[in-house]
Chain A
């Protein structure tokens, strides 16, 4: 079945450091890929998405490229801020609202 694997956290960085959170997936078809972020006490928010191979999703300085050959969708940001501290979830969908999520990666950024 379909699944998403993302790197275990927590990830602890200093402000302005480079961020990479790895995400790989297994799917039988051609899924769409997403990154969602969850701030403390809040629901999930869509950060970015890509719907086909080689698409790059980007938002708020975050980027991720849909790599079909490596079945990956790694999240990157060139310079993190304290306000980026949150839990990040990689997810896939075959088109509907039934998302399959990874376990989440906690990011903690200190000043």
Chain B
């Protein structure tokens, strides 16, 4: 069974640009969650999508958005990039039930210059 796949693995952008990250969950999983990992703030929850609907949202500005397609693949978009958006963005998939195990991808390393 293939794991969670995130693309691209690395991205370099400049301030003011926008970026789209992609996540393909494990086959059969309907929930995709996104996390931001930085040395200063650690791991922080961005949002979760379940069956194409945003089910939960963390405390991030509106520049961070996402969507989920009918095949459960998800994309995350960050507009008007700031230097502080430089981070490892991790995607996790699960079946979506309570206390279900999350399966994480290897992440997309975003650098904003």
Apart from A97-B100, A98-B56, A101-B42: 7 A-B pairs, beta carbons within 8 A = A32-B99, A41-B106, A43-B107, A96-B48, A98-B58, A99-B43, A99-B45
Contact segment of A10-18, A45-53, A62-70, A71-79: A45-53
Are B106 and A46 in contact, with the CB atoms below 8 A? no
Closest to B58 in A: A98
User: B42 — nearest CB in chain A belongs to which residue?
Assistant: A103
User: B72 near A: Cβ within 8 Å?
Assistant: no
Known: A98-B45, A98-B48. A43 touches B90 (CB 8 A): yes
CB closest residue in chain A, given B50: A97
Q: What class of interface size applies to chain B in its complex with A?
A: 20 to 34
Q: State whether A99 and B102 are in contact (beta carbons under 8 Å apart), knowing that A43-B90, A43-B107, A89-B43 are contacts in the complex.
A: yes
Is A100 part of the binding interface, using a Cβ–Cβ cutoff of 8 Å? yes
List A residues at the B interface (Cβ < 8 Å). Answer: 32, 36, 41-46, 49, 51, 89, 91, 93, 95-104
CA distance A97 to B42 in the complex (A): 17
Distance from A107 Cβ to chain B, minimum over Cβ atoms (Å): 16
